[in-house]
Structure 1
């Protein structure tokens, strides 16, 4: 059963890569249906705080369920437990802290909410099942340069993501409405500093895990967030005549 399941987890990882490419294509061709791009209408929507909390929660709950219902013997190894903890820490912040810091926030269309929730179930199972049951690392993997550099990138990326979200939340003073140009932090260099932080975070996780599953998640994240960042960048250029033209889309000094 173990070789068969390991093969299935590899297939799911490659499928995730395909999903990233397809999702990027669809987002690039179709009208966006989230945040500032949502149009008023009678369709069902989920309040912003509830949507973020509930759609991200499976990435926290599913791994805990997977580990609770199985022996999860691999988690007795430090590399496996640290890698899974990296994954869980991110989603604890995204599902239990971030939603309750949102100020206002536009409701999320129900289809978008459902798709995001389904992905979090999928990815939560893929990452946790692989790390708890199949990933084999040497005991000294935590001193390997790939793990150390990857962990540092993961931590830096998460901090950039959190700090950038803080800047976005505080663009408006109490009682103000409308949109403003983000200033400060990495927003001085790129339009989507929060997305840049998340891409760096999961690339660090992929490097530290050195697995098809970890890199597949990083690739999916990059594909989806790059497309969203391109849309944001174009929106800012069209809406604000004084938007800094030197800012890149998502990667400082590159694009």
Structure 2
């Protein structure tokens, strides 16, 4: 892996510059995505559309598209001279990242019940993003990120880590609620209830936004902030779309429930 990286970059300074550029490009793409999603829903799940390509089994799609977010970082940590992995802040941030993607790429696809096929375009874009972001986040943390010796006791790291854990738990619990909405053999949509779904329609999205926002605060870099911003743009749009869909689908949908932020939005 080091050989590959040396063939791509003439020096560590050049690679770090590229990592910075990739971060700013992700922010730029998040803005473009926000503008696009004002007129179009992300085409997967209940918004699947064949005009975005042939359908891919939802389990297969989730497994393959998320796998690079795990495999690429594993290669960077174990098959390169990852000089910063001996430092505690770097270790903890990398562990947060892996904790999410081990569950998302290896466990979550096996738990999916039913689900509409994913259009190939959505699948391909997610696959590319996971390669891009996996390299960006973990290469920076494993080889370049430098933190003060007392960073793990800094309020930003403590607060960010707590937010990450809070968001991760909400995300897992919300996914559990969604998976168990229907009894075996049942079809159709139901109103999710329990947990954060009592307050927002996009409880799973709310949890993941909080999770990566906490990660960005704990990591305190443009690289983690770009990821959190992109996540927020995509998932907030999906939460709003879900909220509107629920309101139009169910006459008895709770009127006090917000789209994404409890009591506010």
**TM-score where L is the length of structure 1:** 0.96
Counterpart CA distance in 2 for 1:41 and 1:2 is 43
Counterpart CA distance in 2 for 1:65 and 1:58 is 10
Equivalent residue runs for 1:66-105 within 5 Å? 66-105=76-115
Counterpart CA distance in 2 for 1:112 and 1:37 is 11
The residue number in structure 1 matching 2:166 is 156
The residue number in structure 1 matching 2:44 is 34
For residue 31 of structure 2, the aligned residue among 9, 12, 21 is 21
The residue number in structure 1 matching 2:178 is 168
The residue number in structure 1 matching 2:252 is 242
Shift of 1:5: 2.0
Using the TM superposition, name which of 89-98 and 131-140 deviates more: 131-140
The residue number in structure 1 matching 2:20 is 10
Question: Aligned-pair RMSD on alpha carbons?
Answer: 1.4
For residue 131 of structure 1, the aligned residue among 141, 164, 187 is 141
The residue number in structure 2 matching 1:118 is 128
For 1:173-211, what per-residue CA distance to the aligned partner results, in whole angstroms no more than 9, with x for missing partners? 111110011111010100000000000000000000011
Using the TM superposition, name which of 43-52 and 163-172 deviates more: 43-52
Shift of 1:40: 6.3
**TM-score where L is the length of structure 2:** 0.93
**Is the aligned partner of 1:55 residue 2:55?**
no
Counterpart CA distance in 1 for 2:35 and 2:260 is 18
* Equivalent residues of 2:50, 2:119 under 8 A apart: no
Gapped regions of structure 2 (runs ≥ 5): 1-10
The residue number in structure 2 matching 1:254 is 264
Counterpart CA distance in 2 for 1:190 and 1:19 is 27
What SS does the aligned partner of 2:254 have? coil
Shift of 1:43: 4.3
Gapped regions of structure 1 (runs ≥ 5): none
Counterpart CA distance in 1 for 2:43 and 2:167 is 26
Counterpart CA distance in 2 for 1:141 and 1:103 is 42
